[in-house]
Structure 1
């Protein structure tokens, strides 16, 4: 199935709803060590120790043969995900609920199901939203339930007005600053086996897709936000939902902000860019707060 195939109608798109795929996706010791090194941890988790939040995403991209990868670096359309003809796709957001933590090097089964395929029309043109549910089950009882939203969209037209972005709140009670450099972004894509070229190929990102620089992966922003929440709260998360609202770019400082509501054991968090624009929002519940 090649990257140029199209879906002729909404009725055919709906044929992907309910499609299911089951994969074995353990986080092995090498992957845990790579993530620890990437995020500058002094040591890597050992076998049997808890996997830090959102590190299970290292296995989110299937190891497709190179002949089955498109020009943009994504796997070609079709198979589990619907072969939507729109040229751009992005990981727009999701929500997770954490049960017993998944351990490093434990056997993990991921069951993925297409929940919905929804065409829409927005200011930027045609859009298709694909909602996917993932159930992660570890052999020792580890469990994560996740709903992920992938959006497909048109190329922006040359006369399209520049988007207007919201200003990030300034009422955080904790903020960490972070500057993603090209090496870090390349290494993150390598750990995830994510070939999407906007995350490491500056010429492709700027000359083909029209971004001002290499694009920071949304999952990395969410992972950094989750870690900032747990450091500040001093406990684990029970749930986490997030939504990407603006791209972040290489070599530009960003802020990771956290605001706790200890009376309710909840949190809000957000990321902002170097100009103070809101880039990602998140919220959730805390677990086992001391």
Structure 2
């Protein structure tokens, strides 16, 4: 990447790494299943495989209260580069599910700053940070899961900002589920992932400070709902890879839909989310074993 005088030498953070440890307990599994309205709730006994993406319930960011910034995230610096832009969003992710993670596993996650890129967009400067996570279980040398996490930092909202043109959502869904993103759903997911980002629960902050029309539905929650739709429709399938890209913010002002279909090759699953107007908000693809 090229450094800019305004953003400083962010490239110095590339290659930085940290490892954290956790234990896959049963209670977060049951709590997320309840939040996603599963019936019956899973037993989540020792040895049970956890669903894809539910590893987000672990390795939670346990920052001290005194270290939290005005947006509810940890103050800039530390492991992630100190990007001096006020708005931070989860832009997308790519996953390889190599072996199962199970209730009772002792797990380790090694995270590395893979890349930092500065770009100029229609709303000003954008900084993209790509983090590689490798999750291993019970002391295994090879990771059970490899994840690339894409984070985007943006400038503050300006009165003359022009929103990017919306994209029409795909047609031809064979699976479809309506989601009502009320305050309780967003609060419960924030609590389960220990996510203090105020854009998900503080309506005054998100509308007056960041300039959005309503509470923002978590990108990882939408991705989890897409994967949950796949599991509801193909309960015996094993997912090998998954990738998603956030296309447009989803707000709590209206219901939205998660959609999917199995492609003719019998291995590729096309998944997407759309808002109440039919605009694409998240685009995703899964491949099955």
Structure 1 residue 236, shift from structure 2 partner: 2.1
Contact 2:7 2:83 in 1 (8 A): no
Residues in 2 aligned to 1:241 and 1:223: alpha-carbon distance in whole angstroms: 11
Cα offset for 1:239?
A: 0.5
What's the CA shift for 1:169?
1.1
* Contact 1:175–1:255 (Cα < 8 Å) also in 2: yes
Tell me the TM-score normalized by structure 2: 0.93
Q: Secondary structure at the match of 2:23?
A: coil
Question: Structure 1 residue 43 and structure 2 residue 41: aligned?
Answer: yes
Match of 1:230 in 2: 231
Structure 2 partner of 1:208? 209
Local SS of the residue matching 1:230:
helix
Partner of 2:221: 220
Q: Is the 8 A contact 2:59 2:109 kept in 1?
A: no
Q: RMSD over aligned Cα, in angstroms? A: 1.7
2:21 equivalent in structure 1: 24
Distance across 2 between alignment mates of 1:148 and 1:93: 6
Runs of 5+ consecutive residues of structure 2 not aligned to the other structure: none
The change in CA–CA distance for 1:284 and 1:52 in structure 2 (over 3 A counts) is: same
Tell me, in whole angstroms, the C-alpha distance in 2 between the residues paired with 1:19 and 1:11: 17
Q: Structure 1: 5+ residue runs without aligned partners?
A: 1-6
In 2 relative to 1, CA 140–178 (structure 1 residues): closer, same or farther, beyond 3 Å? farther
Cα deviation for residue 156 of structure 1 reads: 2.2
SS at match of 1:216: coil
String of CA shifts for 1:241-278, please: whole Å, max 9, x gaps. 00001111115211111121242511111000011000
How far apart are residue 10 of structure 1 and its match?
Answer: 6.3
Corresponding residue for residue 69 of structure 2:
70
Taking the aligned partners of 1:113 and 1:182, their CA distance within structure 2 comes to 33
Size of the aligned set, in residue pairs, is 281
Deviation string 1:38-96 (CA, Å, 9 cap, x unpaired) is 11222232222011121111235411000000011001000000001011111100100
User: Displacement, 1:162?
Assistant: 3.3
Contact 1:106 1:140 (8 Å CA) reproduced: no
Q: Equivalent residue for 2:170?
A: 169
Question: What is the TM-score when the length of structure 1 is the normalising length?
Answer: 0.92
In the alignment, is the contact (CA less than 8 A) between 1:180 and 1:250 conserved in 2? yes
Runs of 4 or more above 4 Å deviation = 7-11
Q: How far does residue 232 in structure 1 lie from its aligned partner after superposition?
A: 2.1
Structure 2 counterpart of 1:160? 161
Distance (Å, rounded) in 1 between the aligned partners of 2:86 and 2:5: 15
User: Is the 8 Å Cα contact of residues 91 and 152 (structure 2) preserved in structure 1?
Assistant: yes
**CA distance, structure 2, for counterparts of residue 188 and residue 139 of structure 1:** 27
Contact 2:169-2:279 at 8 Å conserved across structures? yes
C-alpha distance in 2 between matches for 1:284 and 1:100: 16
Quote the Cα distance in structure 2 between the aligned partners of 1:163 and 1:60.
34
Match of 1:276 in 2: 278
Separation in structure 1 between the aligned mates of residue 82 and residue 284 of structure 2, nearest angstrom: 29
Matches within 5 A, 1:1-290: 8=5, 12-41=9-38, 42-44=40-42, 45-139=44-138, 143-234=144-235, 235-287=237-289
User: 1:231 Cα shift?
Assistant: 2.2
Q: 8 Å contact 1:179–1:251 — kept in the other structure?
A: no
